[in-house]
Chains A and B, each alone.
Chain A
Amino acid sequence: MKKEKKQNELIYFAFRNVKLIIGLAIILFFLVLAVIGPMLTDNDPFDFVNPLGAQPPSSEYWFGTTFFGQDVFSQFVHGLRATFIVGLFGGGLGTLIGILIGFVAGYRGGIVDEILNVLTNIVLVIPTLAVLLIIAAYLEVRSIFTELIFIGFTAWPWTARAIRAQTFSLRTREFVDLAKLSGMKPLRIIFTEIAPNMMSYLLLVFILQFGGAILIAATLDFIGLGPTNAISLGLMMQFSVIWGAMQLGTWWWFIPPGLAITAIVGALYIMNVGLDEVFNPKLREM
């Protein structure tokens, strides 16, 4: 009964939180667009459909066409899909690795903790971009999948550190001792006693990782290290810049992807602040 009340309280504050609602609305809008957008157009993002080349938005090509006559709307919605996939799975992978390493290091402590700490610090100081340049030079074909794997495997260290610190403080709580006295095994203690207490925190971490992954992906795409066999918002920006969209004034080519990336990442961060206020009573405005 009390738990319901507590949940109700959270929902009450969630719905009253303007930041959370605005952020969530923006994300949902783009998510829906990414899901149904590709169904609204028959044009393949790479097909040269308009023989006239770069044309401003019209009723036939909603977002106009590129220098080569490709449909910008089609590129945009397919790119949006790619962006969400990278964010969701790349960010998700980063969160997962971070959580696992953080939990084990924080709970086990001692030598295990030291080793994992060294590992975390090494990954933390690796210059991601430089490593990627090298990897990119060796991979002929890069897909969105390789990109998200790479992002996931380099973005986890700060999460691991944060989770480790939280686990450290929860581990000394007496209910953890009591769980040990109940003969519970360490893994079970971590997942049934410690993790549930950090759910809100884990959600926040995931959102930050989500936004971070999108940004990194856009950066990689923009400097030409993105997927070679797919379209993404970052690649659209790269193409538009390479083919002089700025100079030629074909604004419809680069404005939509730039705006979408900014809006999505911005919305995620606003959501994060909003959620923080919902979960943390001290930040709530009474």
Chain B
Amino acid sequence: MLKLDKVTKTYRIGTFGSKELHAVSDVSFDIKDGEVVSLIGESGSGKTTIGKMVLHLTPISSGTILLDETDVSALKEDEEKEYYRTVQGVFQDPFSSYNPIFKADRIFEIIHDIFYPDVDEEAWKEKVHKALKDVGLNPEHVLDKFPHQLSGGQLQRFLIARALLLDIKFLVADEIISMLDASTRIDVLNLLAELKKKGLSILFITHDLSLANYISERAVILYRGCIAEMGTTEKIFNSPRHPYTQMLIASVPRLDQKWDKAVTIEENSDPIGYEDGCVYYGRCPLAYEKCRERPVPVEIDTDHFVACWKVTDPHT
């Protein structure tokens, strides 16, 4: 379905773009048909950038993203429309996803106008009603309203319904429930799970490990634009091997056990002098000489990749 191959995003910063900032470096992973893959990372890890590159909202600096046969990096402006027929995104902030001065259902009208100009008014209305019912909304209650009259959960379902109006095969869900209340977020999550059952592939971007674990089969852990660890969720969550993943999982507040006091780790100290080394070098308790070289993800077990010399270097 989706295949990322050595995808890199570089921003030029400083005076006259003298410095380069690697938002995403050499990220490769793939998503199979009907699979939910979680992309997990802290703020600044590049997870949103990857989502935007897949959606062709941000240009790719190098590497390729293939969606089935389509090369996303080579997409021309007039091919975008066809691409968006099959690939759609839903974003974090439901309120900022709507133009505040228009009614919320305007997002459906735009789809009608651009993708289905031949469908008549009546048939379209029926299609919208069906899509809304599919996402668990009552059309009577939610149509003809302004965004601020709807709840965050309703707005996010609206956006999913919008995606369903198209024949999408792939959905990028970028932190779509992080701004929702606890009592409604799980419903939106369940909705994604149902869509997956119908064959939709989903890239689920999140910073919340328990949500990722709940919904996805596979997970990719991202740190500062590099993949730290990836594989099936069971392997990642039950036997994490990368020190960063281990720290993350130990830091998640759980309802069944209290934090282990010992594992609090100092946050970002920049790896000055070793910019080409492992991105986790500055924070890693296990760092040693070898880590001044950048490790690449290595398969240590079936579908379990780790980018850490401590785990993959045979000499240690």
**Does residue B93 face the partner (Cβ distance < 8 Å to A)?**
yes
Which stretch, B81-89, B135-143, B198-206, B242-250, touches the partner chain A? B81-89
Nearest CB of chain B from residue A186's CB, rounded to whole Å? 9
CA distance in complex: A182, B84 (Å): 7
Q: Given A178-B91, A178-B107, A181-B89, are A2 and B148 also a contact pair (CB < 8 Å)?
A: yes
A180 to B, closest residue via Cβ? B57
In this complex, what residue of A is CB-closest to B148? A2
Question: How many residues on A have C-beta within 8 angstroms of the other chain's C-beta atoms?
Answer: 16
> A184 vs B145: C-alpha distance in the bound complex, in angstroms?
23
The verdict on A178 contacting B97 (CB below 8 Å), with A183-B80, A184-B110, A184-B114 known, is yes
Query: B149 at the A/B interface (Cβ < 8 Å)?
Result: yes
B97 surroundings in chain A (CB, below 8 A) = 174-175, 178
Q: Taking A177-B89, A183-B80 as contacts, is the C-beta distance between A2 and B100 under 8 angstroms?
A: no
Known: A177-B91, A178-B97, A182-B107. 4 other contacts (CB 8 A): A3-B101, A174-B96, A180-B57, A197-B100
Asked if B101 and A182 sit within 8 Å, CB to CB, the answer is no
Q: Identify B96's interface contact among A173, A193, A196, CB under 8 A.
A: A173
Residues on B with C-beta less than 8 A from A184 are: 110, 114
CB < 8 Å A-B pair total: 55
From DSSP, what is the main secondary structure of chain A's interface residues?
helix
With A181-B55, A183-B114 given, is the CB distance from A175 to B96 under 8 Å? yes
A197 smallest CB distance to B (angstroms): 6
Tell me whether B98 is interfacial, beta carbon within 8 Å.
Answer: yes
Q: Which residue of A2, A3, A175, A196 is within 8 Å of B98 (Cβ)?
A: A175
Q: List 23 A-B contacts (CB under 8 A).
A: A2-B148, A3-B103, A173-B96, A174-B91, A174-B96, A177-B55, A177-B89, A178-B107, A180-B57, A181-B55, A181-B57, A181-B84, A181-B88, A181-B89, A182-B107, A182-B111, A182-B115, A183-B80, A183-B84, A183-B114, A184-B110, A193-B99, A196-B102
